[in-house]
Amino acid sequence: MIPYSAPTRDFAFLFSDMGLGAQVQALPGCEDVSPELIEQILEEANKLARDVLAPINHTGDKQGAVFENGVVRTAGGWTEAYHQFVEGGWNSIPFDVDHGGQGLPWAVATAVQEMWNSANMAWALCPLLNQGAVEALSAHGSDALKERYLGKMISGEWSGTMNLTEPQAGSDLSLIKTKAERDGDSYRIKGQKIYITYGEHDMTDNIVHLVLARLPDAPAGTRGISLFLVPKFLVNADGALGERNDLRCVSLEHKLGIAASPTCVMAYGDNEGAIGYLVGEENRGLECMFTMMNNARLSVGMQGLAMTERAYQQARDYARDRKQGKSAQSNGAAASIIQHADVRRMLLTMRAYAEAMRALALDTMALLDIQHRHLDESWRVWARRRVDLLTPVIKAWFTDTAVEMTSLGVQVHGGMGFIEETGAAQHFRDARILPIYEGTNGIQAADLIGRKILRDGGAAVDEYIEELHSLINRLNETDREPITVIRKHLAAAVDALENASDWIVGEGAKDPDAALAGSAAYLKLFGVTAGGAMMARSTVAALARRDEDGADADFYDAKLTVARFYAESILATAPGLAAPITTTHTTVMALADDAF
């Protein structure tokens, strides 16, 4: 497998040239987050990702996690890498300083997380799930639970999990059967959960499970679900670990990808019941869990970006070295395949998607920082509305794209891509889980239509589209290429998105199936257009910096070329997505079930 190195120069462009760093530095509590500090953080994170995590990615995939006699052992180097991660303070970056966090912006934390996941996604799933658990406990836990658990979870000394799924209850959580019975100040949990990432492992001293369960007198459906903190080891009053709780890993799943990540079947309450502690209020657990799930959905979207970047680097380096055929540039000698036009098209496609997604991800996380930190409530409300709107787009568009781009990475390798030794196939296999994680992408598309557009009559999406029109108007102020090219394609994409949104608002209230039948195409249209808007903004910034004395002309010229390619090759496809959104509902619902 070809070595990995983080795209630190592109991060610097987004934070410095595009102004995301200054945007977050202006927020309360971020005054010391200077460009120099961000650069230092990203450089040090790159060292851990490049030198520690990436080298054990392929070996971990071959070795996998091992389950024997009730014990899960992670792959070679996994635990040592995790200890370096904790000792470096990397887990604590975005969290509250009151519980040992560093209080840095989510935009910075997300850039760092991209590195961990590009280098070794199977390993990085452990801190990713812990991050979501910390968010849920911080938002909904009692003071006593926060005092006892948050410090260790924020440091990374203990890890956290999310326990939703059961054999009979996948995405439909109203079907869960795990039970919780009151027992004084705590509860006794009994049931089984499946697909629990890092539900058992040897990297931390304790594992804190957040478990959805149902009380005996709970109302039916999702309104009767409660959330409980259920530790692997109980914690004494002095903070020391106590006795083992009544829970265990039953088995590990054998998976298509992320083989070194232990995906556990968990049993709670084989004996008297696992002791758990209520998080939030009884029968309101789903609200609490959605704090964790929304965090996780943004993080999983970022994983899609990470895998796209990793596959791009792998394919690019291979294409530079692999010689096949001849080209006009090779003067009759065997040519590196990077000289062939179709290979260049594939590489540019991968790079353009990665740059567009990275810009959209960090811009959205900067909005999340505004939501959490801005002193003006109206700004916080606006930022939350925008983050809510973009969350299903980032989760689904990024991860669908990752599957396509990692497959394209295999294609660049040709037959060698189908051979495990190169590592290209691992990226493809690892990426395939992402459209399924944290609510399948069909659920994300339905969420975008139902909760983010129809619920408010299209107000949030209309606000976003109006801002895109304003961006296009600003682009009209220059006739320089590639802005003129991008402006043309962005204007057509925004018009298509606006027309499709209006159709959904008009038809969806009358016939929900009509809107949902084209929801996947609508989400893709939204993602392609949003990515195009970010590429337009990056073009403006790159042109401005390109004209400065002493500028890195080669870097900015490359940014301009990639942005133009995105406009001509990817953004240009956006208007063609409009027809499936507005016309296919009649045929989608036409066949009888038994006619399939």
Joined together, the tokens standing for residue 461 give: 């999406």
Alpha helix segments (H runs only) across 233-340: 285-321
HSE-up of residue 198 (Cα within 13 Å, Cβ side): 30
> How many other CB atoms sit within 10 Å of the CB of residue 146?
18
Alpha-carbon distance of 450 to 321, in angstroms, equals 49
Determine whether 135 is an active site residue: no
Task: Give how far Cα 404 sits from Cα of 7, 200, 349, 534, Å.
Answer: 21, 31, 10, 21
Task: Give how far Cα 131 sits from Cα of 113, 127, 159, 197, Å.
Answer: 11, 6, 9, 13
Of 167, 160, 272, 170, the C-alpha closest to 227 is 160
Of 118, 197, 173, the C-alpha closest to 426 is 118
Strand pairing category for 186-197 and 274-279: antiparallel
Read off φ and ψ for residue 502, nearest 5 degrees. -60, -40
Q: Is 185 exposed, middle or buried (0-12, 13-18, 19+ CB in 10 A)?
A: exposed
Alpha-carbon distance of 464 to 383, in angstroms, equals 11
HSE-up of residue 280 (Cα within 13 Å, Cβ side): 24
Residue burial 98-123, b: 16+ Cβ < 10 Å; e: rest? ebbbbbbbbbbbbbbbbbbbbbbbbb
* Inter-residue contact 368 to 386 (CB < 8 Å): no
* Inter-residue contact 123 to 156 (CB < 8 Å): no
> How many other CB atoms sit within 10 Å of the CB of residue 527?
25
Paired strand residues for 73: 66
Of 446, 305, 463, 468, the C-alpha closest to 383 is 463
Q: Write the single-letter amino acid at 284.
A: R
Q: Write the single-letter amino acid at 557.
A: D
Joined together, the tokens standing for residue 138 give: 């911080």
Q: Provide the phi-psi class of 195: left if phi over 0, else alpha when psi is between -120 and 50, else beta.
A: left
> How many other CB atoms sit within 10 Å of the CB of residue 13?
23
Residue burial 456-468, b: 16+ Cβ < 10 Å; e: rest? eebebbbebbeeb
Catalytic residue (choose from 114, 135, 166, 438): 438
Joined together, the tokens standing for residue 33 give: 């987050």
Read off φ and ψ for residue 149, nearest 5 degrees. -115, -30
Q: Write the single-letter amino acid at 340.
A: H
Read off φ and ψ for residue 275, nearest 5 degrees. -75, 125
Give me the active site residues, please: 438
